[in-house]
């Protein structure tokens, strides 16, 4: 029986070597391992007739041979199967530069929406509440509550859109009315930003629009200092621009803050050396800000002795234009698909 096994082992190996495809291989396999009459199967069946040590010895050997043959078969089968993929690089080649057909339609967000989303996300992550309010505002919130006196030039009609038959209504000229509305609604401490549409009565050209967008922030807390304002502004700008910035404050006048500042940022184009982008000064006027005027805190229903605040504004439309290099402000409201689908 031992010889039988050895012969069978040799036969199997030779037959497997000669085989060229999976079909033939399986025929060979059947010949040896078919349940009914496979040569190996028969040997295994005959093992029963042996006894004692012989049965043990031959049985062990038979199992070893069986295992080996099964392994050889498996290897051969794997190599034959892999052969058929060899030419796949040619036979199944496609043009990878071709788009999926039919083309999937794509929509686009307006650049102002993209910029506002980014700003709102940043400020939300810093704990600011996102607000918006009426675009048609009352004279009270747009001017009076912000310490802008009745005689202030901003209240002349060449700067502000008024509403017919409603002298106490205006189209808001800035997002600042929300400073007071927010304090009245949410009290203090408060951190909020507003992004929204504003209106100024001025003729439209490549760099002026009667309809524009601002982002405004206000922080109210028990102790707020100029030093806090500078620190926060620096962090914010670095968040917006995603890089280190250097800033400086200089005096600026806005009725609803005292002291008021113009915040300049060291020019990112020339790094302060002076270039066309910063009018050769090395600094770019970036945003107006200041400590909240006590009368504004008071209008917000808070005690200015107890609560202090600071506010800042950002022309988000200019930011969008800078971000995308839009040269003419009029594109933004033109509803031209050739412009809109670029974002």
User: Which residues from 204-263 bind another protein, rule CB under 8 A?
Assistant: 204, 210-211, 219, 221, 223-228, 230-232, 234-235, 248-253, 258-262
Beta pairing class for 129-131 and 190-199: parallel
Tell me how far, at minimum, the Cβ of 237 lies from another protein, in Å: 12
Which residues ranging from 151 to 210 are in contact with another protein (CB under 8 A)?
151, 153, 156-158, 161-165, 168-169, 171, 181, 184, 186, 189, 191-192, 197, 199, 201-204, 210
User: Binding another protein by CB under 8 A: which of 58, 119, 236, 332?
Assistant: 332
Beta strands in the chain (DSSP E): 129-131, 136-138, 162-163, 166-171, 190-199, 211-221, 247-251, 257-266, 283-292, 308-314
Which residues ranging from 113 to 132 are in contact with another protein (CB under 8 A)?
113, 117, 120, 124, 127-132
- CB of 292 within 8 A of CB of 308? yes
Q: Which of 288, 310, 314 shows the shortest CA–CA distance to 191?
A: 310
Q: Does 288 bind another protein (CB under 8 A)?
A: no
| Distance between CA atoms of residues 282 and 143, nearest Å | 34
Q: Does 269 bind another protein (CB under 8 A)?
A: no
Q: Does 28 bind another protein (CB under 8 A)?
A: no
Tell me how far, at minimum, the Cβ of 98 lies from another protein, in Å: 21
- CB of 109 within 8 A of CB of 343? yes
How many other C-beta atoms lie within 10 A of the C-beta of residue 278?
A: 20
- What is the chain's Cα-based Rg? 40
Kindly tell me which of 79 and 204 has the beta carbon lying closer to another protein.
204
Contact flags string 289-318 toward another protein, x per CB under 8 A: --x-xx------x------x----------
Tell me how far, at minimum, the Cβ of 322 lies from another protein, in Å: 18
Q: Does 2 bind another protein (CB under 8 A)?
A: no
Contact flags string 74-113 toward another protein, x per CB under 8 A: ------------------------------xxxxxxx-xx
Q: Does 270 bind another protein (CB under 8 A)?
A: no
| Distance between CA atoms of residues 120 and 220, nearest Å | 18
Q: Which of 30, 29, 22 shows the shortest CA–CA distance to 82?
A: 22
């Amino acid at each position: 029986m031992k010889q039988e096994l050895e012969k069978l082992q040799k036969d199997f190996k030779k037959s497997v070597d000669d085989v060229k495809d999976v079909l033939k291989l399986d025929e060979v396999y059947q010949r040896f391992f078919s349940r009914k009459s496979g040569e190996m199967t028969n040997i295994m069946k005959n093992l029963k007739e042996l006894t004692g040590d012989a049965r043990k010895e031959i049985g062990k050997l038979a199992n070893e041979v069986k295992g080996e043959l099964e392994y050889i078969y498996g290897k051969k089968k794997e190599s034959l199967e892999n052969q058929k993929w060899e030419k796949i690089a040619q036979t199944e080649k496609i043009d990878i530069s071709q788009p999926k057909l039919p083309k999937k339609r794509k929509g686009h967000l307006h650049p102002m929406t993209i910029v506002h989303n980014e700003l709102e996300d940043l400020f939300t992550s810093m704990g600011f509440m996102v607000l918006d309010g009426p675009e048609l505002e009352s004279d009270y919130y747009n001017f009076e509550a912000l310490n802008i006196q009745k005689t202030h030039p901003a209240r002349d009609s060449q700067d502000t859109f008024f509403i017919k038959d409603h002298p106490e209504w205006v189209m808001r000229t800035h997002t600042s009315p929300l400073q007071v509305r927010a304090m009245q609604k949410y009290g203090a401490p408060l951190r909020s930003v507003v992004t929204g549409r504003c209106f100024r009565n001025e003729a439209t050209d490549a760099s002026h629009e009667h309809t524009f967008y601002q982002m405004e922030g206000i922080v109210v807390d028990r102790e707020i200092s100029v030093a806090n304002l500078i620190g926060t502004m620096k962090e914010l700008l670095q968040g917006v621009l995603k890089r280190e910035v250097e800033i400086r404050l200089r005096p600026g006048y806005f009725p609803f803050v005292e002291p008021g500042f113009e915040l300049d940022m060291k020019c990112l184009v020339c790094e302060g050396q002076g270039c066309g982008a910063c009018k050769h000064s090395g600094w770019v006027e970036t945003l107006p800000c200041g400590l909240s005027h006590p009368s504004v805190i008071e209008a917000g229903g808070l005690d200015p002795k107890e609560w202090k605040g600071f506010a800042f504004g950002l022309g988000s439309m200019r930011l969008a234009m800078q971000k995308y290099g839009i040269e003419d402000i009029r594109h933004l409201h033109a509803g031209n698909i050739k412009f809109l689908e670029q974002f």
